[in-house]
Structure 1
Amino acid sequence: MDKQAIFDKVSEIVADHFDIDRAKITTDLNLKTDLNADSIDFVEFVLEVEDTFGSEISDEEAEKLSTIGEVVDYIANNQAK
């Protein structure tokens, strides 16, 4: 899956989970500061991403993910080959 397809799916998850207009979602969007996601919101988001992409994101790695672009890059670099 290419990065654009990953971005589209992640954007869909963000739009649904955080009730934000999909047109406002960019790779620079910060999950914690721009969306005011608390720790529970963030964990739920990570779980949904894991389910959607069939991958596991460790707690240590999840803590490093701040922007949509970082999430997309992580998935692109860690998807099953």
Structure 2
Amino acid sequence: MSTVEERVKKIIAEHLSREPEEILPLDDFVEDLGADSLDVVELVMRLEDEFKMEVPDEDAEKIKTVQDACNYVSQVLRVADGYK
């Protein structure tokens, strides 16, 4: 099974027409990867689909980098599994 980071990078790479190896944890979706606001919304929606979760708008606004996305998904999955 792929790690959260690998799965997140794959989603970003597919959506932004990049290779997963090009995507770094500290890359900002807009500044470094060239995403626009619609791309960011669509990326969050794809994360929701991939990880079977909902991201409230106020949380989605805080997801600015690849690492932010990985951390958020990991946190939600830990809580869902009963870990804190």
| TM-score, with structure 1 as normaliser | 0.90
Compare CA radii of gyration and give the structure with the larger one: 2
5+ residue gaps, structure 2: none
Alignment match, 1:21: 19
* Structure 2 counterparts to residues 1-81 of structure 1, below 5 A: 5-79=3-77, 80-81=80-81
User: Larger RCO: Structure 1 or Structure 2 (Cα < 8 Å, ≥ 6 residues apart)?
Assistant: 1
Identity of aligned residues (%): 34
SS of 1:64's equivalent in the other structure is coil
Structure that is richer in helix per residue: 1
Secondary structure in 2 aligned to 1:30?
coil
- How many residues are matched? 79
Runs of 4+ in 1 over 2 A off after TM superposition: none
| CA offset digits 1:22-81 (Å, max 9, x no partner) | 111111111121122111111111000000001111111011111111110111111121
